[in-house]
Amino acid sequence: QTGPVIDMPVPSSFNDITQDPSLENYIGWVWYEKEVLLPLRWLQDDLNTRVVLRFGSAHYYSIVWVNGVQVVEHEGGHLPFEADISSIVQGSPGIPCRITVALNNTLTPHTLPPGSIQYMNDKTRYPKNYFVQNIRFDFFNYAGIHRPVVLYTTPSVYIDDITVTTTSSESVAMVQYQVSVVGSTLYSLSLSLHDQEGKVVATGDGPAGELKVLNPNLWWPYLMHENPGYRYSLEVKMQAQANGALLEDVYTLPVGIRTVHVTSTQFLINGRPFYFHGVNKHEDADIRGKGLDWPLVVKDFNLLRWLGANSFRTSHYPYAEEIMDLCDAYGIVVIDECPGVGIKMPESFGNKSLQHHLVVMEELIRRDKNRPSVVMWSVANEPASELPPAAYYFKTVIAHTKALDPSRPVTFVTDASYALDRGAPYVDVICVNSYFSWYHDPGHLEVIPLQLTTQFENWYKTYQKPIIQSEYGADSVPGLHSDPPLMFSEEYQKAMLREYHSVFDKKRKEYVIGELIWNFADFMTNQGTTRVLGNKKGIFTRQRQPKSAAFVLRERYWKIANESSCLPPIIKSHSLFL
């Protein structure tokens, strides 16, 4: 027995696709199903071919069957999972392969992000069994299969994972590698590193080692070098004997050679001070919700570069791999954040939540560890870090993250008081969100200089760690004007930014290493009395058109970039267009 069956595009959220209001806010199980015909050659050499079904992400709890046989279960959205389905499909060539997915978007105190289901038991006010999904984060809880679903093959002996780290001086770089092979212990590995012209610059063999690159082209951020985002290609070739056949698996990994180092006042990339002038984003757009959409992705990168932004945080969850690929290619620096948003309830700091959080960090690091654009991990956004259990919780999550990847600094983003935050002792960089004259002292722009200066000085005096203003901003309804500036007008958004910027300019001479506007674009939220079709703090509308604040930010970001002496004249000439 099934409910109504409708067509549903993948990748996409299901919420905004139909005219059905009950699907818009649906909480619970949905089922996806599709039949595909697999190429015969995948099914004939069944001893030596492995067929894999891979999901880029699905929200949030997934169970997958192939031809009625359960093949994988996965908890959490935003990250990939896969299943080896060879034994199921190889016995029946020519028969359609039926893929069935059950998805549940319910959030509980122990999921990431957490939430809670509240039953409304007052029969005089609510129908029987009426419940709501409570969440403690300010974006719409879209659900569905949000990223591509692919079938691919490998030999039965295959390259399972590659880990690359790099060190460099002026004239020489070292690329350390580790390769894991699954399916046999008898295999050979050869590696070759190619530059962008295809020339081999280093070779190696075996599962672990070091490649030496003379006069390397380093991976530099956008606006820090005339050739940002330089990547080599590491070709890894495995050969093995299995079942009387010679098997070969080849994987090519883009490699950026760059270093990251944090001091008490600076963030260094390749030994040079780096200042984050960037944005916070969301995977969010009309109709498709959080579904991957290539035109939107490319438009966003064009807007980022127009803006002069050199960085963004993946607020508040890991973004699609396709987005991360472009960050690597364009030199856009990323603070890579896990879905640890809305960790507010005491029960979300217990062992069950902690264990899941550790697994999520493992999945995120396995996916993104080789990306030169990723310079820092963020393990949470605005948790209730003043609660007593937050100390052990964040100490453990951060230690685990550093053990998995010792090469990158780790942070989480706080809105707690500097004097009460129990997680801050364990981070490498302090990331602070504040909305002076918006959520606090609304309408009073005149308090910003004092309150923001005090915020920075208190945090620095307490921790002697560099600070990023990881969120600040104001809602503005496009086309709403007011002078003198009033809240929700485009003028107020501009005025607030300018007040913050004047403090940033003083403190970036000392220990403030970045500013990330909230938000790049307007985005959908739950309905509420302070939300008019979503959050309007974007400097672009949800349709990616600029508000007045976008031009203020653009002028500032290009000015900051042009202060850097390492920029070639061709980039400096961009300032002519301001």
How far apart (Å, rounded) are the C-alpha atoms in residues 183 and 163? 19
- Whether residues 495 and 539 share a domain: the answer is yes
When the pLDDT of each residue in the chain is averaged and rounded to a whole number, the result is 95
Contact between 180 and 161 under an 8 Å Cβ cutoff? The reply is: yes
How far apart (Å, rounded) are the C-alpha atoms in residues 317 and 339? 4
pLDDT tens, residue by residue, 99-150? 999 999 999 999 999 999 999 999 999 999 999 999 999 999 999 999 999 9
Residue 531 in any domain: the answer is yes
- Whether residues 324 and 466 share a domain: the answer is yes
Q: Phi and psi for 335 in degrees, rounded to 5?
A: -95, 110
- Whether residues 149 and 159 share a domain: the answer is no
Structural domain range at position 82 = 21-153
Last residue of a domain, one of 153, 171, 206: 153
Whole-number pLDDT of residue 94: 80
Confidence of residue 574 (pLDDT cuts 50, 70, 90): very low
Tell me, what CATH number does 216's domain have?
2.60.40.10
Q: How many CB atoms neighbour CB 106 within 10 A?
A: 16
Confidence of residue 244 (pLDDT cuts 50, 70, 90): confident
Confidence of residue 260 (pLDDT cuts 50, 70, 90): very high
- Whether residues 382 and 243 share a domain: the answer is no
Residue 266 in any domain: the answer is no
Q: What is the dihedral of CA 283, 285, 289, 294, to 10 degrees?
A: -70
- Whether residues 100 and 232 share a domain: the answer is no
How far apart (Å, rounded) are the C-alpha atoms in residues 283 and 140? 11
How far apart (Å, rounded) are the C-alpha atoms in residues 378 and 394? 11
What pTM value is reported for the model?
0.96
- Whether residues 416 and 433 share a domain: the answer is yes
How far apart (Å, rounded) are the C-alpha atoms in residues 432 and 411? 10
Query: E strand or H helix at 366, and its extent?
Result: helix 351-368
Contact between 282 and 519 under an 8 Å Cβ cutoff? The reply is: yes
- Residue found under tokens 């770089």: 173
- Total domains in the chain come to 3
Q: Is 382 a catalytic residue?
A: yes
- Whether residues 336 and 478 share a domain: the answer is yes
Going across the sheet that includes 245-255, the strands are 200-205, 187-194, 232-242, 245-255
Q: How many percent of the chain have pLDDT more than 90?
A: 93
- Whether residues 211 and 317 share a domain: the answer is no
* Exposure class string for 405-428: b at 16+ Cβ within 10 A, else e: beebbbbbbbbbebeebbbbebbb
Residue 571 in any domain: the answer is no
Residue 176 in any domain: the answer is yes
**Cis previous bond, 39, omega within 30:** no
Residue 265 in any domain: the answer is no
Residue by residue, DSSP assigns 532-546 as SSSB---SB-TTS-B
- Whether residues 366 and 449 share a domain: the answer is yes
Residue 92 in any domain: the answer is yes
pLDDT of 513 strictly over 60:
yes
Confidence of residue 572 (pLDDT cuts 50, 70, 90): very low
Alpha helices in 422-489 (DSSP H): 448-463
- Whether residues 312 and 325 share a domain: the answer is yes
pLDDT of 518 strictly over 70:
yes
Adjacent-strand bridge partners of 115: 135
How far apart (Å, rounded) are the C-alpha atoms in residues 85 and 77? 22
Confidence of residue 92 (pLDDT cuts 50, 70, 90): confident
Q: Tell me which of 82, 283, 337, 382 is the catalytic residue.
A: 382
Confidence of residue 508 (pLDDT cuts 50, 70, 90): very high
Last residue of a domain, one of 153, 169, 193: 153
Residue 99 in any domain: the answer is yes
Residue 7 in any domain: the answer is no
3-state SS of 274-343 is: CCEEEEECCCCECCCECCCCHHHHHHHHHHHHHHCCCEEECCCCCCCHHHHHHHHHHCCEEEEECCCECC
Last residue of a domain, one of 119, 153, 187: 153
- Whether residues 366 and 447 share a domain: the answer is yes
- Whether residues 233 and 344 share a domain: the answer is no
Confidence of residue 575 (pLDDT cuts 50, 70, 90): very low
How far apart (Å, rounded) are the C-alpha atoms in residues 217 and 196? 10
Tell me, what CATH number does 72's domain have?
2.60.120.260
pLDDT of 573 strictly over 70:
no
Tell me, what CATH number does 501's domain have?
3.20.20.80
* Exposure class string for 251-276: b at 16+ Cβ within 10 A, else e: bebbbbbbbbebeebebebbeeebbb
pLDDT tens, residue by residue, 536-564? 999 999 999 999 999 999 999 999 999 87
